[in-house]
């Protein structure tokens, strides 16, 4: 009896110590036990869901209209076959594919974060969204590089780099875009085929922890973050050099016919870079925090929820780029500008025509000189007192809009 009593007392003491230790561990990692029993603790609130629904719906409507209009102009109205046009066409296609993924996200949030189409469809839609986002990022970087190479090149190099394929010379944009789509599709297949950490539980577009076999996806996302910052640095350097060169020419040679337009083109370059920074930089600045948290097995439920919501907000900015890209097309392409002005009826009236001219650069519009008065002789056979004719000189304005 004494021995049993001693053993029971020891077990009670050990059990109490274990409970005390477990309680202190739980308090050090708040809600850690909740995460273990409820893997979906990072679900969004109903209010936050409706915020996502409203913004994604607006992005889908305006982005669809703008990109379809731009694609129509590029394919059917623009006659040039340069690399920038090729990049813009592929960028519009990538934006349209990304926009096609938004109705699935909208339906998911309307259905209170319950996915009913299966795990394969979930992974396909999610990875298509990200794939086309990074295709757009890469194409914008290629456009900035192309503009820089044209500015620094001489003679034929200013028309753009060309490669020889199938016995014919093509703009380098064909090779770049073909390779980009091929690599993207090859990267998409394993992302869809690879299993997640746990069985499908009806959730999609949610925060997922990367454990065991799924850690490779986290590392792949880290590579994409590095790629983004390389593209971002390329754009900053390219557009800064382009703008500096144009401003230098405009300042050093103010008498050139297109001097003022060089200044406007330089400002457009900075505006394109500004749009790129606003849409993509916040998401990729926060992305390392998101990836590290996915690899952390002791993250609390509160931290998981906070990181998940912050990531969704940053992702809204990235999706917003699909609406702003048509604005970029408007700035970079004279065909889009002129077609948009005609469609909106802005070609009527002197004031609206001057607005059209003000937004055109030297590569798309002819330089038109302003009205300059000059003196010419006009025969005016007015008889004078001596019976002869007197020729009178009059001041006549030169016609405006004449070509040089």
Q: Is the pLDDT of residue 251 over 70?
A: yes
CA distance 362 to 7: 94
Q: How far, in Å, CA of 165 to CA of 245, rounded?
A: 33
For the chain, which domains are there? 42-344 (1.20.1070.10)
Token pair belonging to 234 = 């390329």
Top pLDDT among 2 and 28 is at: 2
Average pLDDT over residues 49-77: 92
Q: What mean pLDDT is reported for the chain?
A: 74
Write the burial class of residue 179 (CB in 10 Å: 0-12 exposed, 13-18 middle, 19+ buried).
exposed
Residues 344-369 pLDDT 10s = 665 444 445 555 555 444 343 333 33
d(CA 117, CA 41): 22
Count Cα neighbours of 104 within 13 Å in the Cβ-side half-sphere: 21
Q: Which helix (H) or strand (E) holds 389?
A: strand 389-397
Which residues sit opposite 164 in a β-bridge? 169
**Residues written for the chain:** 404
pLDDT for 255 beyond 50 = yes
How far apart CA 118 and CA 129 sit, in angstroms, is 17
Q: Using 50, 70 and 90 to split pLDDT, how confident is the model at 128?
A: very high
Residue 207 predicted with pLDDT over 60: yes
Highest-pLDDT range among 3-17, 45-59, 155-169, 258-272: 45-59
Q: What is the pLDDT of residue 282?
A: 94
Is residue 21's pLDDT more than 50?
no
């Amino acid at each position: 009896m004494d021995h049993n009593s001693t053993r029971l007392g020891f077990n009670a003491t050990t059990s109490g110590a274990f409970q005390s230790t477990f309680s202190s561990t739980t308090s050090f990692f708040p809600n850690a036990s909740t995460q273990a029993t409820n893997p979906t603790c990072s679900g969004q609130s109903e209010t936050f869901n409706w915020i996502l629904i409203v913004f994604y719906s607006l992005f889908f409507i305006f982005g669809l209209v703008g990109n379809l209009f731009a694609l129509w102009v590029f394919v059917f109205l623009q006659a040039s076959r340069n690399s920038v046009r090729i990049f813009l066409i592929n960028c519009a296609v990538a934006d349209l594919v990304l926009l096609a993924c938004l109705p699935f996200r909208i339906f998911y949030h309307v259905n209170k974060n319950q996915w009913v189409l299966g795990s394969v469809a979930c992974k396909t839609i999610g990875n298509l969204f990200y794939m086309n986002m990074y295709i757009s990022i890469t194409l914008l970087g290629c456009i900035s590089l192309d503009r820089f190479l044209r500015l620094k090149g001489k003679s034929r190099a200013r028309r753009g780099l060309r490669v020889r394929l199938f016995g014919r010379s093509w703009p380098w944009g064909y090779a770049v875009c073909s390779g980009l789509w091929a690599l993207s599709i090859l990267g998409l297949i394993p992302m869809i085929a690879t299993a997640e950490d746990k069985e499908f539980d009806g959730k999609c577009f949610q925060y997922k922890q990367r454990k065991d076999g799924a850690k490779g996806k986290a590392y792949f996302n880290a590579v994409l973050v590095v790629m983004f910052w390389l593209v971002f640095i390329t754009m900053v350097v390219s557009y800064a050099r382009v703008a500096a060169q144009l401003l230098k020419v405009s300042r050093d040679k103010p008498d050139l016919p297109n001097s003022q337009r060089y200044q406007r083109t330089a400002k457009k370059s900075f505006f394109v870079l500004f749009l790129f920074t606003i849409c993509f930089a916040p998401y990729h600045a926060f992305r390392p925090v998101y990836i590290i948290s996915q690899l952390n097995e002791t993250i609390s439920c509160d931290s998981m929820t906070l990181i998940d919501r912050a990531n969704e907000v940053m992702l809204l900015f990235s999706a917003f780029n699909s609406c702003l890209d048509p604005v970029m097309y408007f700035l970079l392409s004279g065909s889009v500008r002129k077609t948009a002005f005609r469609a909106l009826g802005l070609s009527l009236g002197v004031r609206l025509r001057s607005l059209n001219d003000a937004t055109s650069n030297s590569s798309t519009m002819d330089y038109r000189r302003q009205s300059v008065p000059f003196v010419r002789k006009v025969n005016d056979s007015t008889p004078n007192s001596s019976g002869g004719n007197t020729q009178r000189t009059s001041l006549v304005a030169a016609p405006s809009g004449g070509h040089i």
